[in-house]
């Protein structure tokens, strides 16, 4: 079936079945394992999404407690509550927890929980990856919290500027905890971004066109793509700084040709888009809840999608506005100042669309709407101070003062926390299956609102009278004391409000009366199911006549689907089956059989955790050995996807059969790999940026002359490229061979050998020609580039080895192409980045 | 979007992508030019540095304008969104890079 060949809706209808029988059949297949086993083996999106959200809220509580300690310390000018060392750790951990352990995981959890329900499917595209991401998040978060409890938490601010975070000024493991812990956590962000992207593009219910899907999905798609592009620079920066701290490669050391500004560039290349990564899902909640509670449709669907598009791109052109005070030439300042002003336009378009929606509808002042009004009041003020900070002269005046702290809290609490609480109030009846207890939520809202503005509005003034951020005492500035005291008092009011909110949620889940179906009368698919939702979401999947607009769903649809009258009813084959559809029109393409409950995700994440801990404790050789279990679990992960035998096509409606993903070309795995390669490419581009920056812009001493002989270097580079080029011919030819029923064993073995030969050439280049990477930043960044190419070659060799194993087992046949297609993709990427790296290194050498 | 979902998505993103490419190009030329001293080399009424950045900017405007002219007009979302993307890209290119006309370069 091609992308555009959509069968008529009545051809996709199945005869009605007893709803209870279908429910039992599906529950048996889709439920988590019972008891403690279920804790470690669950992969279901509702479970994992809830785990993400609950864990994020616990971390939010911890971060909030740290904020209270900060405010207690600052309430008086000679505060003796905390000493400077502990204060530094606390404000660093407050920011890091709120950003990396609360905001991002919270949005990931909400997206994982809601997306399949909104899109009319039964799970995310890669359930094991969801679970793996959760365990990485939990283990990474525990490393950070454990360090805090032991008094060795990071203390250099949540953006970890060098040289303060370098080994000279931050000896000990404090900074390493941040670099390794946060990077571990970010694995989960990348995993979530890949599967969110693939789920939205490939798993929408039949007929749900991209231009008709719920706006929430557009927002989450935008955020996921931004995560794919935004997190790699941070991961690169963290890796480089950890290498500098552990092995002395001087990427950021100006005395050896490095530049601390490179860290700032890499950090803010992530850090500013991060603000929009957090804001977009929150705006998605607003665009979903506002029309429902205004009893109307959203105004300007197309304009909002265009605004999301604008934000996704423009937010990557603003990062330098965090660096206006570092001495950047006027023209560069002007570029980024202009982009910072421009980004207010798409945000304003959305704000006007939301106001217009409320204007044309009949808004109901229910609890979610209160939080939405709180959002408007707060976020607009935060946006306006953002426009002030985009103006360079004002920025210089307010730089590093409490004004900036106030601005960022207005944007983040206004733009993320208020909408998220609106969302929780809106979806909690779905999640808990219970109604809320009236009155408590309203009291919590007003307490939070008053407490927040009392704390942070005053903080603008504190900043304008000159108080720098991150100081623990101010004995010589009595004029700041009253302002700080007022902020501190109101901050406790705000905390009390958040405690009330938490109590409201707990009481609702515990004592609330059972909620009726679709309590908001929402016209979307997420409410077209029983409350709380069953593990499988839909007994049968929605048909095109149920998804023809962004307003699908309703009670009629819920009953029809529960009786199995949609597509792919029940689970008669005992598998977790979902429908994979085309990107544009969502026409059915094949049936994917998703993996069932498994402990592999926690085992895989734990093996990475051991590696991270070994690195943290400086046991580098042991860390190297700890990579072996990581490889073992990665291999098992892939092996678990290989079918035991042939899998027959699946009848999704009477007379309409579709192949399973084992016999299909455009699989979810292929799409996921393409997304991952996009993130990988961003990582590579950031590394090239780092090399260019250190070569062209960094001040400091000239690099030492090259140690090796140019002719030998050229031969090794040419040899490595030739081997990689030969290897890149293999997967395609092997695919052809398999399709023609031939045996590709020797061909694949040649491909593996060619990749290993390319790896050997790189090793030769590193050992004999490169020079000591500890001597100068240019040598170090060159070595980092070679290391990156070597890693890609190594992964390519693993692909080849896997394909070889499949060929040896006789698992490759026409229609069953195993790992060959994915190897082909990775091999092509590796050849491309190898060629670019060779050219770049050559240009760098010539520039010397 | 008919039958070509990924292509349509690419078309929607093409306008802003042109801005991103032009912005990156001009910023890279700015950094490279300051490092290599192009600001001190005359190229007619302006320096070589400014000339190169101006050319980068004009290339972005030309590409964005060309895209906008090539895309069909229409009110349905599938036709409208690629044009909206092209407009966003073109306006962003014009606005964010206009400092090449007047700001001091290094």
Q: Name the residue range of residue B73's domain.
A: 12-101
Contact between A811 and A804 under an 8 Å Cβ cutoff? The reply is no
pLDDT in the model for residue B2: 43
* Residue B77 counted as domain residue: yes
Which ipTM value was assigned to this complex?
A: 0.95
* Contacting A residues, span 574-593, partner chain B, CB-CB under 8 Å: 582-585
| Among candidates B4, B34, B80 on the partner chain, residue whose Cβ is nearest the Cβ of A584 | B4
Nearest to A175 by CA among A73, A96, A262: A96
pLDDT tens per residue, range A414-456: 999 999 999 999 999 999 999 988 899 999 999 999 999 999 9
The Cα angle at residue A568 between residues A564 and A572, in degrees rounded to 5: 85
- In terms of residues, how long is chain A? 848
Cβ-proximal residues to A124 (8 Å cutoff; 6+ apart), any chain? A45, A112, A115, A116, A130, A195, A196, A199, A203
DSSP category for residue A576 = E
Interface contact B77-A306, CB threshold 8 A: no
pLDDT tens per residue, range A492-514: 999 999 999 999 999 999 988 89
pLDDT at position A2 over 60: no
pLDDT tens per residue, range A68-96: 999 999 999 998 899 999 999 999 999 99
Nearest to A153 by CA among A245, A246, A86, A81: A86
Least Cα separation, residue B36 to chain A (angstroms) = 8
pLDDT tens per residue, range A718-743: 999 999 999 999 988 888 888 777 78
Total count of domains within chain B: 1
- A580 SS3 class: strand
pLDDT tens per residue, range B19-39: 999 999 999 999 889 888 898
pLDDT tens per residue, range A559-590: 899 999 999 999 999 999 999 999 988 999 99
Task: Give me the residues paired with residue A590 across strands.
Answer: A580
Going by pLDDT thresholds of 50, 70 and 90, the confidence category of residue A256 is very high
* Residue B6 counted as domain residue: no
The CA distance from A285 to A526, in Å, is 13
Write out the two tokens for A713.
Answer: 């270097």
pLDDT in the model for residue A457: 96
Helix extents (H) in A465-526 = 481-511
User: Is some CB atom of chain A closer than 8 A to the CB atom of B69?
Assistant: no
Least Cα separation, residue A714 to chain B (angstroms) = 26
Comparing alpha-carbon positions, the chain B residue that sits nearest to A3 is B3
Average pLDDT over residues A793-813: 91
pLDDT at position A467 over 50: yes
Write out the two tokens for A518.
Answer: 């679709």
User: Is some CB atom of chain B closer than 8 A to the CB atom of A272?
Assistant: no
Cα dihedral across residues B98, B102, B103, B104: positive or negative: positive
* Residue B23 counted as domain residue: yes
pLDDT in the model for residue A744: 85
Tokens 């962004």 -> residue:
A550
Going by pLDDT thresholds of 50, 70 and 90, the confidence category of residue B44 is confident
| Among candidates A4, A583, A693 on the partner chain, residue whose Cβ is nearest the Cβ of B2 | A4
pLDDT tens per residue, range A105-141: 999 999 999 999 999 999 999 999 999 999 999 999 9
Phi, psi of A652 (to 5 degrees): -90, -20
Cβ-proximal residues to A263 (8 Å cutoff; 6+ apart), any chain? A160, A161, A162, A165, A237, A240, A241, A252
Mutate which: B24, B36, B77, vs A, most A CBs within 10 A = B77
pLDDT in the model for residue A798: 95
Write out the two tokens for A697.
Answer: 């812009």
The CA distance from A104 to A37, in Å, is 27
User: Is some CB atom of chain B closer than 8 A to the CB atom of A217?
Assistant: no
* Residue B57 counted as domain residue: yes
> A271 exposed, middle or buried (CB, 10 Å; 0-12, 13-18, 19+)?
buried
What is the enclosing helix (H) or strand (E) of B63?
A: helix B48-70
DSSP category for residue A363 = -
Nearest to A593 by CA among A533, A655, A643: A643
Interface contact B26-A334, CB threshold 8 A: no
| Among candidates B1, B53, B104 on the partner chain, residue whose Cβ is nearest the Cβ of A210 | B1
The CA distance from A811 to B11, in Å, is 39
| Among candidates A306, A314, A331 on the partner chain, residue whose Cβ is nearest the Cβ of B84 | A306
B-chain CB neighbours of A211 within 8 Å are 1, 77-78, 81
Contact between A268 and A323 under an 8 Å Cβ cutoff? The reply is yes
Cβ-proximal residues to B29 (8 Å cutoff; 6+ apart), any chain? B49, B52, B53, B56
Instruction: Report the share of chain A in percent with pLDDT over 70.
Output: 98
The neighbour count for residue A62, using CB atoms within 10 Å, is 19
User: Is some CB atom of chain A closer than 8 A to the CB atom of B71?
Assistant: no
pLDDT in the model for residue A596: 94
pLDDT tens per residue, range A219-247: 999 999 999 999 999 999 999 999 999 99
pLDDT-wise least confident of A142-146, A377-381, A768-772:
A768-772
Around A538, how many Cα atoms within 13 Å sit in the side-chain half-sphere?
A: 34
Question: Average pLDDT, whole number, for chain A?
Answer: 92
* Residue B106 counted as domain residue: no
pLDDT-wise least confident of A605-614, A621-630, A698-707:
A698-707
Around A765, how many Cα atoms within 13 Å sit in the side-chain half-sphere?
A: 29
pLDDT tens per residue, range A669-718: 999 999 999 999 999 999 999 999 998 888 888 888 776 677 888 888 89
pLDDT in the model for residue A550: 63
The CA distance from A723 to A716, in Å, is 10
pLDDT in the model for residue B3: 46
Cβ-proximal residues to B106 (8 Å cutoff; 6+ apart), any chain? A329, A331, B33, B34, B39, B49
pLDDT in the model for residue A549: 66
pLDDT in the model for residue A64: 96
Contact between B16 and A309 under an 8 Å Cβ cutoff? The reply is yes
Cβ-proximal residues to A160 (8 Å cutoff; 6+ apart), any chain? A154, A175, A178, A179, A241, A263, A267
pLDDT in the model for residue A1: 46
Tokens 């094949």 -> residue:
A590
Write out the two tokens for A151.
Answer: 């008094």
* Residue B53 counted as domain residue: yes
pLDDT at position B1 over 60: no
pLDDT in the model for residue A4: 54
Contact between A124 and A146 under an 8 Å Cβ cutoff? The reply is no
The neighbour count for residue A86, using CB atoms within 10 Å, is 16
pLDDT in the model for residue A848: 65
Interface contact A329-B105, CB threshold 8 A: yes
pLDDT tens per residue, range A148-204: 999 999 999 999 999 999 999 999 999 999 999 999 999 999 999 999 999 999 999
- State in Å, rounded, how far the first CA of chain B is from the last one: 45
Class of domain A702-847: mainly alpha
pLDDT in the model for residue A382: 93
């Amino acid at each position: 079936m091609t992308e555009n060949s959509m069968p008529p809706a009545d051809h996709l209808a199945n005869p009605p079945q007893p709803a209870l029988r279908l429910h039992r059949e599906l529950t048996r297949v889709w439920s988590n394992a019972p008891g403690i086993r279920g804790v470690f083996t669950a992969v279901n999106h509702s479970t994992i999404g809830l785990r993400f959200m609950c864990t994020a809220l616990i971390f939010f509580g911890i971060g909030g407690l740290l904020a209270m300690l900060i405010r207690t310390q600052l309430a008086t000018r000679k505060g003796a509550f905390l000493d400077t060392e502990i204060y530094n750790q606390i404000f660093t951990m407050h920011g890091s927890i709120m950003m990396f352990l609360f905001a991002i995981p919270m949005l990931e959890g909400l997206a994982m929980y809601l997306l399949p329900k909104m899109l009319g499917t039964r799970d995310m595209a890669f359930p094991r990856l969801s679970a793996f991401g959760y365990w990485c998040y939990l283990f990474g978060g525990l490393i950070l919290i454990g360090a805090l409890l032991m008094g060795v938490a990071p203390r250099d601010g949540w953006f970890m500027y060098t040289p303060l975070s370098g080994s000279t000024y931050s000896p000990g493991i404090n900074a390493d905890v941040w670099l390794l812990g946060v990077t571990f956590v970010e694995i989960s962000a990348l995993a979530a971004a890949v599967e969110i992207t693939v789920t939205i593009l490939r798993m929408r219910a039949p007929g749900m066109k991209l231009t008709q899907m719920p706006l929430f999905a557009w927002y989450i798609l935008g955020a996921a793509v931004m995560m794919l592009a935004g997190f790699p620079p941070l991961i690169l920066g963290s890796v480089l700084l950890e290498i500098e701290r552990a092995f002395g490669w001087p990427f950021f050391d100006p005395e050896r040709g490095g530049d601390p500004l490179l860290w700032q560039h890499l950090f803010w290349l992530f850090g500013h888009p991060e603000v929009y990564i957090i804001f977009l899902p929150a705006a998605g909640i607003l665009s979903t809840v506002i029309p429902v509670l205004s009893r109307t449709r959203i105004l300007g669907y197309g304009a909002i999608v265009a605004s999301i598009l604008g934000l996704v791109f423009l937010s990557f052109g603003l990062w330098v506005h965090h660096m206006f005070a570092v001495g950047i030439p006027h023209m560069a300042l002007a570029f980024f100042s202009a982009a910072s002003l421009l980004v207010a336009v798409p945000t304003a378009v959305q704000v006007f669309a939301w106001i217009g929606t409320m204007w044309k509808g009949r808004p109901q002042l229910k609890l979610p709407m209160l939080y939405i009004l709180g959002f408007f009041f707060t976020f607009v003020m935060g946006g306006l101070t953002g426009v002030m900070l985009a103006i360079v002269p004002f920025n210089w005046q307010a730089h590093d003062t409490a004004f900036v702290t106030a601005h960022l809290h207005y944007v983040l609490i206004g733009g993320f926390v208020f909408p998220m609480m609106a969302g929780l109030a809106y979806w909690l009846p779905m999640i808990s299956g219970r109604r809320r207890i009236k009155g408590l939520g309203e009291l919590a809202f007003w307490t939070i609102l008053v407490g927040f503005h009392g704390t942070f509005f005053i903080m603008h003034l504190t900043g304008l009278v000159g108080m720098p951020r991150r100081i623990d005492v101010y004995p010589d500035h009595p004029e700041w004391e009253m302002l700080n005291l007022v902020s501190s008092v109101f901050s406790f009011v705000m905390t009390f409000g958040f405690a009330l909110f938490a109590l409201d949620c707990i009481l609702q889940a515990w004592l609330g009366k059972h909620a009726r179906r679709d309590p908001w009368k929402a016209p979307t698919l997420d409410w077209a199911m029983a409350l709380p939702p069953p593990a499988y979401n839909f007994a049968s999947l929605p048909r095109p006549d149920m998804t023809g607009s962004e307003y699908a769903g309703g009670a009629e649809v819920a009953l029809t689907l529960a009786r199995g009258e949609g597509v792919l009813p029940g689970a008669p084959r005992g598998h977790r089956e979902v429908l994979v559809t085309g990107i544009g029109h969502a026409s059915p393409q094949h049936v994917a059989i998703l993996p069932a409950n498994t402990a592999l995700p926690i085992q895989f994440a734990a093996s990475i955790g051991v590696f991270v801990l070994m690195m943290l404790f400086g046991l580098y050789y042991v860390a190297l050995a700890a990579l072996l279990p990581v490889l073992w679990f990665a291999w098992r992960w892939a092996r678990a996807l290989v079918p035991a035998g042939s899998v027959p096509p699946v009848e999704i409606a009477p007379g309409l059969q579709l192949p399973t993903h084992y016999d299909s070309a455009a699989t979810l795995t292929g799409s996921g790999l393409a997304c991952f390669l996009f993130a990988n490419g961003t990582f590579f581009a950031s590394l090239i940026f780092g090399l260019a920056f250190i070569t062209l812009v960094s001040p400091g001493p000239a690099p030492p002359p090259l140690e090796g002989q140019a002719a030998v270097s050229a031969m090794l580079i040419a040899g490595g490229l030739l081997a990689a080029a030969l290897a890149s011919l293999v997967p395609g030819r092997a695919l052809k061979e398999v399709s023609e029923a031939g045996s590709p064993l020797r061909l694949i073995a040649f491909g593996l050998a060619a990749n290993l030969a390319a790896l050997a050439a790189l090793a030769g280049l590193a050992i004999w020609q490169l020079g000591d990477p500890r001597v100068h930043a240019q040598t170090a960044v060159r070595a980092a580039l070679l290391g990156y190419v070597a890693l890609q070659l190594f992964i390519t060799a693993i692909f080849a080895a896997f394909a070889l194993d499949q060929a040896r087992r006789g698992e490759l046949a026409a229609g069953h192409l195993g790992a060959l297609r994915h190897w082909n993709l990775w091999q092509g990427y590796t050849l491309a980045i190898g060629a670019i790296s060779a050219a770049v290194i050559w240009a760098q050498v010539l520039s010397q | 979007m008919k039958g070509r979902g990924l292509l349509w998505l690419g078309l929607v993103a093409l306008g802003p992508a042109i801005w991103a490419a032009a912005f990156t190009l001009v910023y890279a030329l700015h950094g490279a030019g300051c490092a290599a001293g192009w600001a001190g080399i005359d190229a007619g009424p302006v320096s070589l540095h400014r000339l190169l950045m101006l050319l980068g900017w004009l290339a972005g405007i030309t590409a964005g304008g060309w895209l906008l002219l090539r895309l069909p007009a229409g009110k349905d979302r599938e036709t409208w969104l690629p044009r909206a993307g092209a407009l966003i890209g073109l306006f962003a290119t014009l606005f964010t890079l206009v400092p090449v006309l007047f700001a001091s370069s290094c």
